[in-house]
Structure 1
Amino acid sequence: MNRIDRISAILIQLQSRRVVKAGDIASRFGISLRTVYRDIRTLEEAGVPVIGEAGIGYSLVDGYRLPPIMFTREEATAFLTAEKFVEKLTDVSTTAHHRSAMYKIRAILKTAEKDLLDTMEGSIEVLKSRSQRQIDNQDHIQTILNGIINKSVLCIEYLAGYMQTYSRREIEPVGIFYLDSYWHLIAYCRLRSDYRDFRLDRIRELNITDSKFEGKHPLLKDYIAQTASEHHLETIIIRVDKKMLPYINEQKYYNGFVSEVDAGDQVEMTFLTTSPGYIARWFLMFGDQAEIISPPDVIKRVTELVENITRRNVLPV
């Protein structure tokens, strides 16, 4: 990205939030803080009313707005791709709101960009996995987000997975995330006096109450990071022959898959898990086409499993 495009992008970033930290700008564009300061100074010299506060960040004077923005073709198709995901992976209300926003975005596109989206409409599709669950066409996501915004206590009727019975809970919502084909809600449960993970497909009824909660809850990303630390997640690295990837690419996400690196004829995969024993058993499915790099404990577990299988399945002489 050249400097002119970067400075324009920084101005748009400043409009997107009330306060933007210099470190966030530097991280986004891969530049030094000194370069950020120089770019901000260029905006100021161009007449943009930027307010900078030491230790806080940059903001624009209230009321300042850019004229209508033109999107690039790549940005326009990215919006279309996102629309496909929203339609398949969220609830009815979220889909409707996103579609309304897309109408507004399309309205400011140039004719060529509108034609491009019309052409690409049938060339992008998102299909649900067999394991994906619907949210029963209820508007849980928007209700939860409204609860977070307004600090409203939610009342839910929830099916506990281990008891298979419904219970009524009052909860203080923290955040939602999508993992392994399910939407999850992290909330403080007043019944249990602790934070809990609620799967949205198990919520039969959800309502916003008139009660407000005053306590300050952790950010969702901080809670997830803290939970991962408390559960003593173990790092496991394996190398798999590339010809096996079509058979395990979907399964890897259920075993704590984090990342992968090309290693010639193999792919090196990294997993974070609380159940190394489970990964050891999963590894046996394709172990003749793979190897465990670390830790030694998982190698030992696999070896013991193979020895036990051999011992119990000896052909008669």
Structure 2
Amino acid sequence: MNRLNRLTAILTQLQSKRHLPAEEIANRFEISLRTVYRDIRALEEAGVPITGEAGKGYTLVEGYRLPPVMFDEKEAFSLLLAEKVIEKFTDKEISQHFQSALIKIKSVLKDQQKLAIDHLDEQVIYYKHELTTPSKNEKAIQRIMSALATGKVLQFDYISFIKEENTSRAVEPIGMYYSLGNWYLIGYCKLRKDYRTFRIDRIQKINITEEYFTTNHPSLKSYLKKMEEGNHLIKITIQMDPSHVKYIETHKYNQGFVMQEKVEDKVQLTFMVGSMEFFARWIISIGDIVTIISPKTLSDRMSTLLNNMTEKLKEAKYH
């Protein structure tokens, strides 16, 4: 790419975000930071009103370019979802072309929409998996994303997975992710006074309240680490064949299940548990179809339990 084309592309990228770090420009065009500084200076000399802020990056003066197309909130959030899906379901070249096109589209968004999308980018995850039919609850997804962007409390009815009970919940949302055919919401439930995972297709009558929450919740990506370090929970990862998942589908939610994703030809499940002993005694019932990825202490404990069971069987006297 020649310099003129690169300067044009940088200008477009500047219009796609409220703050654009120099490192992000350098990574995209595979150039040095010194070259980035020279390019920004060239744009300034050409009359482009760019300001720099330490720790945040470069910003175009508001209103420098009037966008020819206006997007509403739902359309702007849909762009983010499209970006997450394309990244997982296409090859690298197609994904790169889409990213380039998306930057041009984002350049016409209002500053407030850019800020909302930047914030949501850390709060929405789309895990790679086999292609399945997604859960249907578009209204809930849109309202959750709006609440995530604005920091407002959600009010909804929720049908529990195990007991099929309908309860009313007030939830401070911290993130949303998609895995194996379903969208999930993670948030602080005021009813249970703790963080909970909600399957979005089981959410009913959802509304965004006028209440803002002030709690400094973790981002979705740091949620597992925060739980593990702050609450002394143990992270457990297991794998099994997709055909075997059905044997734990109705029970995994009682065992600290957090997420599920496809890893090559296996299904990988992550749990956060408070008791290694309790989990070991549960999973041992299907030990022949499970591979323990981590931690090793779980494998060691299951080995001890199996040895004890074998000795008990040998000692048994049958009549």
- Fold-level match, TM-score > 0.5? yes
Number of the residue aligned with 2:234? 232
Q: Which has the higher contact order (CA 8 A, sep 6+)?
A: 2
Number of the residue aligned with 1:63? 63
Pairing 1:208–2:211 present: no
**Structure 1 counterpart of 2:234, which letter?**
H
The SS at the match of 1:168 is strand
Return 5+ residue gaps in structure 1 as ranges. Answer: 70-78, 87-101, 106-125, 239-246, 261-266, 313-317
CA deviation digits over 1:55-96, x for unaligned, max 9? 332101222228889xxxxxxxxx9x949x69xxxxxxxxxx
Distance of aligned partners of 1:146 and 1:296 in 2 relative to their CA distance in 1, 3 Å threshold: closer
Distance of aligned partners of 1:152 and 1:174 in 2 relative to their CA distance in 1, 3 Å threshold: same
* Aligned 1:263-282 pairs, distance under 5 A: 274=272
- Superposed displacement of residue 195, structure 1: 2.7
Distance of aligned partners of 1:285 and 1:220 in 2 relative to their CA distance in 1, 3 Å threshold: closer
Residues 156 and 206 in structure 1, CA contact (< 8 A), matched pair in contact too = yes
Structure 1 CA distance, aligned partners of 2:293 and 2:220? Answer: 32
Number of the residue aligned with 2:165? 165
* Aligned 1:132-211 pairs, distance under 5 A: 134-135=135-136, 137=137, 139-209=139-209, 211=210
Residues 135 and 181 in structure 2, CA contact (< 8 A), matched pair in contact too = no
Q: Please give the TM-score of this superposition, normalised by the length of structure 1.
A: 0.55
**Structure 2 counterpart of 1:199, which letter?**
R
Distance of aligned partners of 1:201 and 1:268 in 2 relative to their CA distance in 1, 3 Å threshold: closer
Q: Please give the TM-score of this superposition, normalised by the length of structure 2.
A: 0.55
The SS at the match of 1:139 is helix
Give the aligned CA root-mean-square deviation in angstroms: 4.9
- Superposed displacement of residue 256, structure 1: 5.7
Return 5+ residue gaps in structure 2 as ranges. Answer: 70-78, 87-101, 106-128, 246-257, 314-319
**Structure 2 counterpart of 1:171, which letter?**
V
- Superposed displacement of residue 42, structure 1: 2.8
* Aligned 1:1-317 pairs, distance under 5 A: 3-65=3-65, 82=82, 129=132, 134-135=135-136, 137=137, 139-209=139-209, 211-218=210-217, 219-227=219-227, 229=229, 230=231, 231-233=233-235, 248=241, 274=272, 284-285=288-289, 297=297, 300=300
- Segment drifting more, 187-196 vs 163-172: 187-196
Number of the residue aligned with 2:123? none
**Structure 2 counterpart of 1:134, which letter?**
S
- Superposed displacement of residue 222, structure 1: 3.4
Structure 2 CA distance, aligned partners of 1:2 and 1:225? Answer: 43
Residues 174 and 217 in structure 1, CA contact (< 8 A), matched pair in contact too = no
Structure 2 CA distance, aligned partners of 1:279 and 1:32? Answer: 51
Distance of aligned partners of 1:255 and 1:285 in 2 relative to their CA distance in 1, 3 Å threshold: farther
Q: Percent identity?
A: 40
Number of the residue aligned with 1:94? none
Number of the residue aligned with 1:75? none
Residues 258 and 272 in structure 1, CA contact (< 8 A), matched pair in contact too = no
**Structure 2 counterpart of 1:8, which letter?**
T
Distance of aligned partners of 1:224 and 1:303 in 2 relative to their CA distance in 1, 3 Å threshold: closer
Distance of aligned partners of 1:279 and 1:47 in 2 relative to their CA distance in 1, 3 Å threshold: farther
